[in-house]
Amino acid sequence: MSEILNDRYRLDKKLGEGGMAIVFQATDLMLERTIAVKILRKAFSASVPFQKRFKEEARAAANLTHPNIVTVHDFGFDKNRLFIVMEHVPGTDLKAIIKEHAPLPIPQASRLFVQTCAGIGYAHRAGLVHCDIKPHNMLVTPDFRVKVTDFGIARAMASVKHDEQSNAIWGSPAYFSPEQAAGRAPSPSSDVYSLGVVLYEMLTGELPFMDSTPQDLALLHRYEPPPSPRHINPEISPALEEIILKVLSKEASARYRTADQLGRIVISFTELETNGYLEEETAISQPADPALEAIKALETKKTPQGWLTIVLGLLALIAVGGLIPFWLWIYSQIN
C-alpha cells in the first residue's frame, strides 16, 4: 500500500535520492493530478530552526511563476519529515545529459543555457538567490525545455553552518562560487559564477576544478585560474571563451551582475556566431528584454529597407526616363 502524506499526497514511485532528500512521483488525491514530492531526510527535518527557515524559503519559492522554474505547490510536515510538493516535470536532468553527450554542440548548449538564465534571472529580479546552482537542479523535458528546481531548499540549506553539514550535503563544491567557498553569503553574482561552471562543463565535458576533498576544492575556486576551455574543446571560439572566463572571475564585481545579463550576452553571441540558430520555441521561454527586442527588430528591418530603397530609386528613374520623350514631343510641336 502506498504511503500518503498529510492525507492528500500518495507516493507512487521513487524518482531519485541524494544526501539531502528523496524525490517521489506522487498523486495529489484532492486535485487528482501527478506531482513530485521531495521529502527531506530526518536529520534536517528534526531541526526546529531549519524547519522555520525551510517554511520561509518554500513560501518565497512558491511565489516564483516562470516557465523555466519548477512550480512549488505546497509544503508540509508529516511523520517527522519536511516535504515540498512541486509540479511533476517529465524527462531527465542536465547532469545526465552532460554525462552522456558532453561536450554538447554549442547551439544546443546555448539553447539550454539561455533558458536556465531566464529562470534564475527571474528569481534574481524577485530578490531571490538560488545558492546551489548545478546541472542536477536543471530538469530538461522531452521537448527540450529547462526548468530550474530546488530554490527554497537550497536557500534553507544555506542557513545551516558549513561545519554542521555532512559531506553529502555540503552542497556541490564543484559549482560553488569563491565567496561561498570562503563562507560568505551568496549573491546573484554567486549564482552567475555557478552558471559559468555549468556552461564550462556543458561545452567541455569537464569541470574547471576537481579535487578529492571539499576543502581543497574550495581553495581551487578561491585562488586558481580555470584551465582554458578552448584547450579542451577547440570548437569554442576566443569570444565565447572570454565570456566563460569572465563569468568565472574570482571577484564578484568582475562578473556579469545577474543571470539575466549573462543570458542576454549568450543570446547575442550565439546569434552572431551561428547566424541566428535560436529556434522560436527557445525565444518563447525567454522573457522578452525590451532593449534586445529593439536591436532584433532593427536588424530584421535592415534588409527589407535596403531593397525598398533600391526599388523606389528604380521607379523614380523609370518615371523620369518616361517623361523625357514626352517633353521632347511637346517642344517639337511648339516649334
* 313 is a domain residue: no
* 268 is a domain residue: yes
Mean per-residue pLDDT, 224-235: 97
* 238 is a domain residue: yes
Confidence at 17, pLDDT banded by 50, 70, 90: confident
Last residue of a domain, one of 87, 121, 142: 87
131 and 16 assigned to the same domain? no
Last residue of a domain, one of 56, 72, 87: 87
Using a cut of 0.85, tell me whether the model's pTM lies above it: no
107 and 55 assigned to the same domain? no
* 295 is a domain residue: no
DSSP state of 88: -
Task: Name the more confident of 179 and 307.
Answer: 179
* 314 is a domain residue: no
Contact of 33 with 24, CB cutoff 8 Å: no
28 and 104 assigned to the same domain? no
The amino acid present at 65, given as its one-letter code, is T
Alpha helices in the chain (DSSP H): 42-45, 48-62, 94-101, 106-125, 151-157, 178-181, 188-204, 214-223, 229-232, 238-247, 259-274, 280-285, 290-334
Q: Compute the distance between CA of residue 224 and CA of residue 254 in angstroms, rounded to an integer.
A: 16
Task: Name the more confident of 198 and 60.
Answer: 198
* 131 is a domain residue: yes
What is the signed CA dihedral for 109, 225, 120, 53, rounded to 10 degrees?
140
82 and 171 assigned to the same domain? no
111 and 55 assigned to the same domain? no
Average pLDDT, the chain: 82
One-character DSSP codes across 67-81: TTBPPEEEEEEETTE
218 and 265 assigned to the same domain? yes
Q: Is 132 a catalytic residue?
A: yes
- Catalytic residue, chosen from 132, 150, 191, 260, is 132
Q: Compute the distance between CA of residue 259 and CA of residue 228 in angstroms, rounded to an integer.
A: 22
Given a cut of 50, whether residue 110 has pLDDT beyond it is: yes
Number of domains, the chain: 2
Last residue of a domain, one of 87, 110, 145: 87
> For residue 147, what is the domain's CATH number?
1.10.510.10
140 and 260 assigned to the same domain? yes
Backbone angles phi, psi at 140, to 5 degrees: -120, 120
pLDDT tens column, 21-65: 899 999 999 999 999 999 998 888 888 888 888 888 888 889 999
> For residue 21, what is the domain's CATH number?
3.30.200.20
* 331 is a domain residue: no
216 and 158 assigned to the same domain? yes
Mean per-residue pLDDT, 91-120: 96
Q: Compute the distance between CA of residue 214 and CA of residue 180 in angstroms, rounded to an integer.
A: 12
Contacts 24+ apart (CB under 8 A), 276-279: 277/107, 277/110, 278/107, 278/110, 278/111, 278/114, 279/111
Predicted local confidence at residue 44, as pLDDT = 80
Residue range of the domain that includes 61: 4-87
pLDDT tens column, 154-188: 666 655 544 444 333 344 899 999 999 998 888 99
Percent of the chain whose predicted confidence (pLDDT) is above 70: 75
Residues 6+ apart with CB under 8 A from 164: none
83 and 193 assigned to the same domain? no
